[in-house]
Structure 1
Amino acid sequence: MAHFTTPVLIVGAGPIGLALAGDLGFRGQSCILIDKGDGGVYQPKMDMVGIRTMEYCRRWGIVDLVEGAGYNREYTQDCAWVTSLNGHEFGREEFPAPKDEKSPPQSPQHRERCPQNFFDPVLRRFAEQFSGVQIVYHTELVNFSESEEGLLATVRNVKTGEMRTIAANYMVGSDGGASTVRQQLDIKMAGEPVLTYTTNVVFRCEGLERLHNKKPAYRYIFIGSEGTWATLVAINGRDQWRFSLVGDVTMQTLTEADMRKAIVRAVGRDFDFEILSMLPWVRRQLVAESYGSRRVFLAGDAAHLTSPTGGFGMNTGIQDAVNLSWKLAACLEGWGGRKLLESYEIEQRPVAIRNVEESTGNLKRMLNPRVTEPPKELFDPTPDGEKARKAFGDAYTELMKREWFSIGIHLGYVYEGSPIIVPEGTPRPEDTVQTYSQTARPGSRAPHVWLEENVSTLDLFGKEFVLLRFGTDAPAGTGLAAAANERKVPFKVVSVSSAEAAALYERALVLVRPDGQCAWRSDSEPEDPLQVIDIVRGASPDGASVQDAA
């Protein structure tokens, strides 16, 4: 067997594994990323890159790549609910095309439509720019053993059968819902194992918009006498569509003929189309009971499985990757304390629970017409039918707004009770969905303020701890800087003259972590700067650190 050594072995090269590999490379760390596939995406599982993920893309310098990845950015993003594309429309929520969408006041970015078959190649290009990042396809994890010193993983080339051993300091399983890493750690998933059985079909049809009488939309929801039964999504904004036949908790085996019949029903007429792929899958609401062991961690779908309603799954996984990456780097560099990697689960698991529960709520709202059976006159071409459709459509439109407007989910997560956050005793902000008020309270995402044209406060964060000073009378921060230097923690002090930023951050000094979360704030220097630095780097009270670098 050949032997390889790497600081971090990542299993699974979907968007989470690629983002983790890229962020480690961004931090100067080497890693090996393996995947048993060939790197192709034949059934894109996600298509919305959330606003927080786009902020990370801004940090990584790949926003232009995401915007130019292939989705038609001139295609409208409306969501509409209909009987069929040639039937009745109950209502719609109008959204601009991606090229016309404006960033909200709380962020320098906005969400972007970029399906996985476009987004994965962007992340791969980002990761591969770093010489220390190796991506190896056609390679699966067979087993691994963990010790105090590190771990040994046996992997196999699925094409040749060749076996080899990889020695690593740490391993991350981003290998999906059926995660081999999670199974070998014997970690259970808690929640609802089946919400619905659903079958997806990606099909190609040039000019589908010309075959019906509805305004174009990114997403159509189909409601019949049985309630909500299917959705149709513009996968590339041109000629590819993803049709989802939403079942219930009863497993069904559907043929291509079944799916063709359902697609014709949804469009409301016969037409020619080419089926590119077909995938039955199960909607779940599950979160891992543990996020790993001392040296092995779970991220993305390996740690949490959610209904796609809301677009939180992949974006929660990207948060996993960014949260974990700087902590792995810190421990590899020797300044990360014993509690640093322990804090990954403490911080991210509650976020996952919150997000998967919200996704299930969105699903239930979408499927609400199944519960409150639609009145029969909804489908009658009569004045009474029109009146019933108006009342039903208005109510459904209002019901669905919680899914369409969810900035609080993407930006409002708080690492409450984290051992590496210095609490200040103020009450936790209300956890909202449709609104979001920026705060620099420790544990929260550091607020965005424009400092000058195209320069955000968020552009100050990424590779080190940043101590922000607000106002000419603010303390210099020399005590914290000296303490960080003593503990070899990457650290810089930045003076900010913006009155708007000072008002939003609320204190003269605010310490922001490498991932962009606020860790401490005060109007004065701490009495014991070393204690603050030791807390935020995850050190035990005696200041001991983990020396894990090979």
Structure 2
Amino acid sequence: MLVVGGGLVGLTTALVLRHHGIDVALVEKRATTSPQPKARRFDMRSLEVFREMGLAATVHEAARDLAHHDHMASGRTLAESEQLPLWRPGGGAPMEISPERPCLIAQDVLEPVLRRAAEDTGADVRFRTALTGFEQDADGVLADLHDLAADRRSRVRAAYLVAADGARSPVRAALGIERSGRGAIGDPNVNVYFRADLADVVRGREFNLCQIRHPESPGALASVDGRYRWVFMAPGGEVDRDWPALLRTALGVPAPDLEVLSVLPWQAEMLVADRYSAGRVHLAGDAAHVMPPYAAAGANTGITDAHNLGWKLAAVLSGAATPALLDSYDVERRAADWFAADQSSRRSQSFGGEPDPTLAHPFVLAADGFQYPAGAFAGGPDEGGEVEPVTDFAPVGRVGARVPHRWLDPDRTVSTVDLGGPGWALLVSDDPQRWQRNGLPAHRLDADFLAPGEALLLRPDDVVAWRGTDPAAPAVVLDELLNP
């Protein structure tokens, strides 16, 4: 397997493949991981993916600087800002919908964690190595690589190629895959990444994001490490401005040690690739979709792309499934990513206004509550199955959706989400021996979403693939799903 791109999604893809026992090489033309904070909020579902690979605790430890910065704040300046109360929906706190809590961690902190983990698992990670071209045939992909450090060129053959090479993806361009969507959303913006010791200013009013309403320097201030590193998001596309003066105005304090590290213009966009797969090449992350940042969904959907694609590639490469299984990657993830991108776009257009009651419940996004209409499962919505609500978060184990989280032990250490991956599993409400004919691990649950005598077939990515009462059905369904 060859993965192109050493960012969050490429590294997660390599980790998922190694988790399934697949040899993988990853190439990245940059010398190192991202020097920019970029993505900062990783939702519960992303942490569940890391949890499956034994990395959630490591990620939370790396995120300790922002562990208590989950509030929003608002004020004329930072010095005058007030911390806003946490949003709490009816029905409970985040720990009741997932075994993991969301995590604030800057991308330039998380990526090195993932890189080390991928290398530790045996992935062949090659930075300063560029993909310069590729060809594919019925048996695999022939890739041209350029080792930029040694100025050495080589050709490698891989069964499949995963392109996680960013929003301007050269691989997507080479495949001629177009993108559709709303295009540009709103006005241009500028991100000013700067350093200043503001610990005394924010103490007791810690935040994730602070809206600054000063008429001369409006914008939003994001915490990167809660003390020294910050990103100021300013409206307008003009880069050449007196940023130190504007930042001090927005902060409302002298900040004598303030140092501007970078100034990056950006434009929110909503674009989704018209195809996620072309032969033996598959797109993931920003190569497949870009969306406004206001729902913090971009990086999180990319991580879920990797989780979905990884087990399917592993099943095909191990001989457990035919290549036709991979068609479900496009069917499932393009629908899910379009949904997330559309939700992000709608949130950006109503940012700061009255809440839109037709928007998806926030936990539907944060806990990957989107239900695939069709794909590698039996009895989903397109086949007349029960439809998961969107404006409410009410998971009950519907086919095509993530299994509901329920704690399985008094110490609250094992969740239903832990029962899937890297293999398949059965969740049953009665005697597991009755279901053993399927050759799958059967877990007896006293769960509110299982009726007497009922079972759920759980995929390696925690998605419900079938539910019913016939003990002979899961084996038949599994064979049909792996060999469509």
Change (3 A) 1:364 1:315: same
Q: How many residues are paired up?
A: 473
**What corresponds to 2:364 in structure 1?**
408
Q: 2:221 aligns with which of 197, 217, 232?
A: 232
2:355 corresponds to 1:399: yes
Larger displacement relative to structure 2 (399-408 or 17-26): 399-408
Map 1:462-477 to 2 at 5 A. Answer: 462-472=421-431, 476-477=434-435
2:406 corresponds to 1:449: yes
Q: Give the match's secondary structure for 2:336.
A: helix
Q: Give the match's secondary structure for 1:467.
A: strand
Q: Deviations over 1:215-271 (max 9, x none)?
A: 332211123559x94110110112111111122xxxx4412x432233123123443
2:375 corresponds to 1:418: yes
Change (3 A) 1:443 1:475: farther
Cα distance in structure 1, aligned partners of 2:97 and 2:70: 21
Change (3 A) 1:70 1:517: closer
Q: 2:442 aligns with which of 459, 475, 494?
A: 494
Cα distance in structure 1, aligned partners of 2:44 and 2:99: 9
In structure 2, the gaps of 5 or more residues are none
Cα distance in structure 1, aligned partners of 2:358 and 2:465: 30
Cα distance in structure 1, aligned partners of 2:152 and 2:422: 38
Q: 1:39 aligns with which of 26, 32, 35?
A: 32
TM superposition shift of 1:536: 2.1
**What corresponds to 1:264 in structure 2?**
248
**What corresponds to 2:205 in structure 1?**
215
Q: 1:458 aligns with which of 400, 403, 417?
A: 417
Q: Give the match's secondary structure for 1:455.
A: coil
Q: 2:397 aligns with which of 440, 445, 452?
A: 440
**What corresponds to 1:488 in structure 2?**
none
Q: Which AA in structure 2 matches 1:266?
A: A
Change (3 A) 1:495 1:405: closer
Kept in 2: contact 1:34–1:137 (CA 8 A): yes
Q: Which AA in structure 2 matches 1:535?
A: E
2:77 corresponds to 1:92: no
Cα distance in structure 1, aligned partners of 2:203 and 2:78: 7
Change (3 A) 1:229 1:353: farther
Change (3 A) 1:232 1:403: farther
Cα distance in structure 1, aligned partners of 2:234 and 2:56: 33
Q: 2:183 aligns with which of 185, 190, 193?
A: 193
Larger displacement relative to structure 2 (346-355 or 420-429): 420-429
Cα distance in structure 1, aligned partners of 2:114 and 2:81: 41
Q: 1:118 aligns with which of 109, 112, 115?
A: 109
2:270 corresponds to 1:285: yes
Kept in 2: contact 1:469–1:476 (CA 8 A): no
**What corresponds to 1:204 in structure 2?**
195
Cα distance in structure 2, aligned partners of 1:271 and 1:401: 41
Q: Deviations over 1:266-302 (max 9, x none)?
A: 1234432011222222211110111021200000000
Kept in 1: contact 2:206–2:226 (CA 8 A): no
Q: Percent identity?
A: 29
Cα distance in structure 1, aligned partners of 2:308 and 2:387: 20
**What corresponds to 1:311 in structure 2?**
296
Q: Deviations over 1:188-216 (max 9, x none)?
A: 11123322322112111113543x89933
Cα distance in structure 2, aligned partners of 1:401 and 1:242: 30
Kept in 2: contact 1:77–1:218 (CA 8 A): yes
**What corresponds to 1:389 in structure 2?**
none
Cα distance in structure 2, aligned partners of 1:245 and 1:516: 39
Change (3 A) 1:199 1:403: farther
Kept in 1: contact 2:72–2:210 (CA 8 A): yes
Map 1:30-109 to 2 at 5 A. Answer: 30-87=23-80, 92-94=84-86, 103-109=94-100
TM-align CA RMSD = 2.6
Map 1:472-483 to 2 at 5 A. Answer: 472=431, 476-481=434-439
Q: Which AA in structure 2 matches 1:477?
A: W
Q: Give the match's secondary structure for 2:65.
A: coil
Cα distance in structure 2, aligned partners of 1:209 and 1:402: 41
In structure 1, the gaps of 5 or more residues are 1-7, 369-395, 482-491, 541-550
TM superposition shift of 1:431: 1.3
Cα distance in structure 2, aligned partners of 1:198 and 1:72: 27
Change (3 A) 1:345 1:243: same
2:148 corresponds to 1:164: no
Map 1:524-539 to 2 at 5 A. Answer: 524-526=470-472, 531-537=476-482, 539=483
Q: Which AA in structure 1 matches 2:172?
A: R
Q: Which AA in structure 1 matches 2:442?
A: V
Q: Give the match's secondary structure for 1:262.
A: helix
**What corresponds to 1:504 in structure 2?**
449
Q: 1:427 aligns with which of 370, 376, 386?
A: 386
Q: Give the match's secondary structure for 2:333.
A: helix
Kept in 2: contact 1:54–1:111 (CA 8 A): yes
Cα distance in structure 1, aligned partners of 2:387 and 2:287: 29
Change (3 A) 1:334 1:516: same
Q: Which AA in structure 2 matches 1:445?
A: R
Q: Deviations over 1:39-81 (max 9, x none)?
A: 2322121111110011111111112211111541454322123
